Structure 1
Amino acid sequence: MARDEPQQAADHLAGALAHAPTLPEAHELLGRLAARPGGGLPFFPLAPHVSPGGLAARAHLLAAAGHPDEGLPLLAAVSGRAPAADWAGVPWVGDPALGGRIDPGLLVQLLMRLCTAVGDPAPERTRTTLRPYLTVATHAVRANPEHAMLLGAGSALARRIGESDLAVEWAARGARVRPSKLAEIWLGYAYRSAGKVPEALAALRRAVTHDPDDLSVYADIAGTLADHGRLADALSWVDRALEKDPDYDCAVHTAHRLRHRADGDLAHLVRLADFIRDHPDESHEHTDLADCCRGVSWLGGTPTAAPLPRGTARAAAEPSEESVRRLRQVASLSWSHPPGAYDAAVQLILVQPFDLLAVLAHPPVDVAAAEIWACLGLLHHGAEEPWLDSARRKILLDLTEGGLDRVTEAALFAMIVSAWVDPEARADVATIVAARLTEVAGRPGSRAVAELALATPDLDPAAREKAAGMVRVVPRPRGRSRLLLRWRRG
C-alpha cells in the first residue's frame, strides 16, 4: 500500500484473513482500502472462484460502507465452507441493528445453509465460531417475533451449538405462530436435543399428521424410538414407511440398521450394501452401514484376533518406490465398511499386480496393514472379468493356501470384500471361507479365520455358528496397541 499497489495489498490481505480472520492489523488495513474510491470493493470482486479470504474481505468492506445486511450473507458463505474458523467474530456482526435490518427471509436461508454445513450437534470449536450468527438471529427474532420460519431456523442453529433450551423456546413459538410439518419437525428435534423424548415424539407424530407422505419423518421417529430402547415400536414405524415406498432410502437404511441391531444378522448389512450400490442417487448421505460396522472385526477395520506371523515370501523382487508411495496413500487400520475398503483401494489399480505381490513378500514397515491393502488392490485388476473365471480370484485363492499368516488372512479378506461388492461371487467365497474354517478349527490362529467367517456374506448357518463358537471360546488378547503389534511389527 505504501508503494500505491492496492491490488497486491488486497491479495495479501485476503491471504492473511484466510489464516487469521479476526487479525486486527488486517482489519486496520482493510479500513485504509475502504477509504479509497469505491470503498475498496473493486479489489475484492465476486469472481466464480473467489478465495474465502477475499469473500470475507468484501463482506467487511460492505459493512464498513453501511451495508452489513449485504455483507452478512457473504460472511456466512465463507463460514459454511470453513465453519471451524472464526469468520464472524467481528463487532459489526454483533450490532443489534443488523438483526432488525436484514430481511428475515434472507436470514432464514443463511441460517439453514450454516446448519447443513455442520453436524448436529456441532463440534465444540464450531459451536464457538457460529455463535455470532445466533446473536444475529436473536436480534432478528426480537425485531420479528411472529416470523415462524425465522424462529424455526434459529432453533435449528441454537440446538447445534448447544443452546437446547433456546432451541425449544423458539421452535415452540414458531409452531404456535404457524403450525406446519416443518415447524413440528424443528420442535421435535429441539426437544430431542434437550433430552425430552416424549415431547420430541409427540411433535414428530404431529408432523406426520401434517404430511403423511413425508417418509423421512417416519425414519426420524423410528431412530428416536430405537435410540431410547423402544426397538419394536421403531421397527413398526419403519414398516409403515416401507409399505408406502419400499425403495425410500431413509426408511431402507433405518430398517436394515435397526434389524441388525435387533438380531445381529449380517444379512441385513449385506442387503443394505446392495441397496446403496443399486441406488446411487439417494436423497442425502447416510451413515447407517458405517455406524453398524464401526469397531467390528473386519467390517470396520483390522481385527482383534491374536497376531499372526508374517507371510512366507512369494516374490523375489522388492516393491517399487512408486507402489509403496501409492500404498501409503490409502493404507489404514480402519475403513467405513467392506465396500468402503474396496472403494478406498481403487487407486491401487495404478500399481501393477507384480508390484502388489512384491508388497506381500516385502511389506513396508511404515505402511499400516500393507498385506490387506495389497490384496484389496489386486481386486481392482481385471475387475471386468466374471468372478469365477477371473485372474484376481485365482491369485487370491493361491495366496490363501498354506499355513495361517498375514498374507493368507489378507487374501481371504479381499475375497470376502469381493463378495460384498459382487453378489455373483458370494456363493463361491462363502464355500471357500467355510472350507478354510473347517481346516483350521482347533489350530493356533483359528480365531482369525473365525472372525473373517463372521464377516462373510451368505455363509452357511452351520459354518457361521461354528465361527461364532470359536470366537467365543478363544480369549481375546489383552494389553494396549494390539493393532500396531499385529500389522506394523515384523
Structure 2
Amino acid sequence: MAPDGHDGLNDPYQEAEGELSMARLALDDGELGHAAQHVATALLHAPDLPAAHELLLARLSLDDFPLAEPLFLGTALARAHLLAARGGLDEALALIGSVQQHEPRGHWADVPWMAGPDLPGKVSPATLCTVIVGLAQALHDPVDEEERPALEPFVQLVRNAAQTYPGEAMLWWAGSMLMRRAGRAQEAVKLAEHSSALEPSLQAAVAAACAYRNLERWTEAEAAMHEALRIEPGNLYVRTDLAELVHRAGRPGEALRWAEEVLDADPRHESAYPTACGMRFEADGDLRHLLDLAAYLAEHPGNTHAYSVLANQSGTRPWLRRPADASEAVINVLFQVLEQEEGVEGGSLRVSAPEPPSAMLAFGRALPGFTLVVEAVPEPDPRLPVPETGFDGPVRSVSQRVWRYEGTGAVPAVAPPGQEAVQAVAVLAEQPWPHLPGAFDQAVRLAATSLDELLGVMVHPPALPFDDLRAWPLWLRQVQAWACLGIAHHRGDQPWASSERRQILVDLAYGPEDWVSEAALLAMIATAWVDRAARQDVAALVGWRFLAAVQASRTRPVTILESLSHLALATPDLEPGVRSLALAMLDDDEEPAP
C-alpha cells in the first residue's frame, strides 16, 4: 500500500477542498475515474472532512475505486467508507485497519461509522480479532504519547467489542495487545486477566505478562510468563520473552541463562540468538558479540528482531550508530556563544594550536562573523600526514587530500560538488545510521556519485537542514561519514587490498589531522564488518593511526584522540594490546601505558 502524492506543506483542509473542487469538475464532465482520484486524495489530506464523505457517497461507487496493486491509502479509505455505508462492515473495518497499520500516525478512523457503540455487533468476532491483532503488531510497544490520539477510535472499538462479546476470550486478549501499545496498560491487564478467566491460554498469559511489564510490576509479569510456560513448556519464544523480561527487571545474569537455555535447544533460534548476543555484549563489552549478530543478520535479513537488537546495542557506543561528539576548543566556544541570550555578531578568537580544519569550518558556518587566529604550531605538526614507520619516521606519502594549508589556515583542496551529489549525501546525513552493516548497505546509494564529488562534499557541505546552529558540528561529521561510506563503494569490483577505494580512504585517514580522518577510518571499519577478507588489514590501519595519535598526544593536544579510541574499539579483530590502550585512553582514572 502506498501513499497518494501530496506535499502536506499547506493546510490539509484547504488541500482537501481544492481536490474536491477538481472532483466536482471531473464529475460534471463525466470523468468518474478522475473524480475518484481527487476524492481519494481529499480523504488522504482530511479523512474526517464531511464534504468529502458526502461527495463520495452521493456520486461515486465501489467500481470507481478498484482494488489494484499498489493500493493507495486514499483509495483504501474511499472503499472502506463506501463499504461501511452499504453494510459491508467486515471488509470496511479490515481496510481501515490496514490503512492505520501502514500509517499509524494518521487519524484515518476518526469517522462516524467507526465511533458507533453498535459497530462490533455488526462485525464478526473473527474480523475484530484480525484487525485488532494486525494493528497491534504494527505498532511500537508502547507508541509515543503524541501518536496515541490517532489510535483512539480503535481503543474505543476494543472497549465496545468487550461489551458486545463478554464471552469471547480471544477478543479480550487481542484487545489487551492493542491497549498496551496505546499506552493503556492498566486496561490491558484487565482484558488479559478476563481472557484467562474465560479460557486459560498462552496468548492471554503472555498479554498479561507484557501489560504488567509495561507497568513495571515485575513480580506479576514473571508470574504470568511462568503461567504461559506452564501451558506450553516447550515454547522457546516464551522462554526468550521471559529472558528479556528478567533482564528488564534488573537481573541480567539470570536473563542470559534463560536465553542460553533456549540456544541449547536451538542454537540459531530466531528470537533467542539476537537476544543472547545483545545480552552478552552488555555483559562484557566484547565487540565479537555484535559481529556475530551482524553475521546472523546477513544470513537472515528479514529478522526484524536481530536488526532491532543490533541497532539498540550499537546506540550504546560512539561511531557504531552516530559520530562521536566533537571536543575541539572552537566547538566549545561555538556552543558557549550560541547559548548567550544576546546575539554575538562577531569577534576574534585565538587558539593556541591548529585544530582540525573541519572544526574550523563548522565554527565558521555557525558564526561567520568571527576571525580565528592560530598562535603557534606544536610538534608533531598536525598539518602534516602521519609518520609512516615509527613515531619519528618520515611522513606517509599522501596523494589525496581535501584540505591544503596556507600558513596555519586550511582551505579546501577540492572543488565543490554538484547539487545532485550534495542532495544525495544530505538525505542520508539527516539521520543516524542504524548500525555499521546498515550504514554500509545504505551507502551503496552513493556508489554512482563520482569520487570527486564525494571528496568535495566533505569540505563544501550541504546547508544545515535544522534551525539550531549548534547542530553544525554533528551535521558536518554526519556528512563526512556518509561521504566516506560512499567512497567505500567506489569501484566495488576491485579486491579490497589493491582497491582504489582503500587507497583513497587510507590517504584521508593518514593525512592532516582532521574530522575527515575519523570519517575515513569509519568507512574502513564498516567495510571490515561486512567483508571478513578486509578485517586484518583494516585492524592494522586503524590501530596504527590510533597509536600515532596517542604518541602525538605526549607533546601536544590531539582533539580527535578520544574519538579515535572509540573507532579503535569498533574495529573487528583489533590487536588486544591496542584495544587495551584504547580502553585506557577512555578511562580518566587510569594512566595509559606507553
- Output the TM-score relative to the length of structure 2: 0.74
Please report how far the alpha carbon of residue 229 of structure 1 lies from its aligned counterpart in structure 2 after TM superposition. 0.9
1:397 equivalent in alignment to 2:506: yes
18 and 362 in structure 1: CA distance in 2 versus 1, 3 angstrom threshold: closer
Q: How many angstroms apart in 2 are the aligned matches of 1:278 and 1:86?
A: 38
**8 Å contact from structure 2 (residues 209, 222) kept in 1:** yes
SS of the equivalent of 1:400 reads helix
1:309 equivalent in alignment to 2:418: no
Q: How many angstroms apart in 2 are the aligned matches of 1:263 and 1:463?
A: 17
Q: How many angstroms apart in 2 are the aligned matches of 1:136 and 1:106?
A: 12
152 and 377 in structure 1: CA distance in 2 versus 1, 3 angstrom threshold: same
Of stretches 352-361 and 224-233 in structure 1, the one that deviates more from structure 2 is 352-361
User: Which string of whole-angstrom CA distances, capped at 9 and with x for unpartnered residues, describes residues 177-215 of structure 1?
Assistant: 222222221221122223321111122222223334432
Please report how far the alpha carbon of residue 361 of structure 1 lies from its aligned counterpart in structure 2 after TM superposition. 5.8
User: Which string of whole-angstrom CA distances, capped at 9 and with x for unpartnered residues, describes residues 419-438 of structure 1?
Assistant: 11112222222222222222
Amino acid paired to 1:278? E
1:19 equivalent in alignment to 2:127: no
Please report how far the alpha carbon of residue 408 of structure 1 lies from its aligned counterpart in structure 2 after TM superposition. 2.1
Amino acid paired to 1:21? P
Q: Structure 1 unaligned runs (5+)?
A: 35-39, 475-490
1:383 equivalent in alignment to 2:492: yes
Please report how far the alpha carbon of residue 406 of structure 1 lies from its aligned counterpart in structure 2 after TM superposition. 2.2
460 and 211 in structure 1: CA distance in 2 versus 1, 3 angstrom threshold: same
Please report how far the alpha carbon of residue 336 of structure 1 lies from its aligned counterpart in structure 2 after TM superposition. 1.6
Q: How many angstroms apart in 2 are the aligned matches of 1:285 and 1:117?
A: 17
1:87 equivalent in alignment to 2:108: yes
Number of residue-to-residue matches in the alignment? 470
Q: How many angstroms apart in 2 are the aligned matches of 1:53 and 1:349?
A: 35
Please report how far the alpha carbon of residue 125 of structure 1 lies from its aligned counterpart in structure 2 after TM superposition. 4.0
SS of the equivalent of 1:97 reads coil
User: Which string of whole-angstrom CA distances, capped at 9 and with x for unpartnered residues, describes residues 391-442 of structure 1?
Assistant: 3222222222243212222222211111111122222222222222222212
Amino acid paired to 1:424? A
1:106 equivalent in alignment to 2:127: yes
239 and 203 in structure 1: CA distance in 2 versus 1, 3 angstrom threshold: same
Residue 348 (structure 1) aligns with: 446
Residue 478 (structure 1) aligns with: none
Equivalent of 2:183 in 162, 168, 175: 162
**8 Å contact from structure 1 (residues 68, 92) kept in 2:** no
131 and 423 in structure 1: CA distance in 2 versus 1, 3 angstrom threshold: same
User: Which string of whole-angstrom CA distances, capped at 9 and with x for unpartnered residues, describes residues 40-90 of structure 1?
Assistant: 333333334443223222222232234434422222222222222222222
Please report how far the alpha carbon of residue 113 of structure 1 lies from its aligned counterpart in structure 2 after TM superposition. 1.2
Residue 92 (structure 2) aligns with: 71
SS of the equivalent of 1:195 reads coil
1:469 equivalent in alignment to 2:571: no
Q: How does 1:190-201 map to 2 (within 5 A)?
A: 190-201=211-222
279 and 52 in structure 1: CA distance in 2 versus 1, 3 angstrom threshold: closer
1:368 equivalent in alignment to 2:476: yes
Q: How many angstroms apart in 1 are the aligned matches of 2:432 and 2:71?
A: 36
Equivalent of 1:3 in 9, 23, 28: 28
Q: How many angstroms apart in 2 are the aligned matches of 1:356 and 1:126?
A: 38
| % identity of equivalent residues | 40
Q: How many angstroms apart in 1 are the aligned matches of 2:504 and 2:29?
A: 68
SS of the equivalent of 1:129 reads helix
User: Which string of whole-angstrom CA distances, capped at 9 and with x for unpartnered residues, describes residues 308-351 of structure 1?
Assistant: 32352485544334332322232346322211221221111101
**8 Å contact from structure 2 (residues 145, 183) kept in 1:** no
SS of the equivalent of 1:96 reads coil
Amino acid paired to 1:30? L
Q: What's the RMSD between the two structures over aligned residues? A: 2.5
Of stretches 144-153 and 383-392 in structure 1, the one that deviates more from structure 2 is 383-392
Q: Structure 2 unaligned runs (5+)?
A: 1-23, 329-355, 359-401, 405-411, 465-474, 590-594
Q: How many angstroms apart in 2 are the aligned matches of 1:408 and 1:286?
A: 29
Of stretches 177-186 and 231-240 in structure 1, the one that deviates more from structure 2 is 177-186
Please report how far the alpha carbon of residue 222 of structure 1 lies from its aligned counterpart in structure 2 after TM superposition. 1.3
Q: How many angstroms apart in 1 are the aligned matches of 2:506 and 2:485?
A: 13
Equivalent of 1:238 in 259, 284, 297: 259
Equivalent of 1:451 in 566, 574, 577: 566
Equivalent of 1:416 in 525, 544, 555: 525
Please report how far the alpha carbon of residue 236 of structure 1 lies from its aligned counterpart in structure 2 after TM superposition. 0.7
Please report how far the alpha carbon of residue 287 of structure 1 lies from its aligned counterpart in structure 2 after TM superposition. 0.8
Residue 485 (structure 1) aligns with: none
247 and 101 in structure 1: CA distance in 2 versus 1, 3 angstrom threshold: same
Q: How many angstroms apart in 2 are the aligned matches of 1:368 and 1:216?
A: 43
SS of the equivalent of 2:108 reads coil
**8 Å contact from structure 2 (residues 317, 566) kept in 1:** no
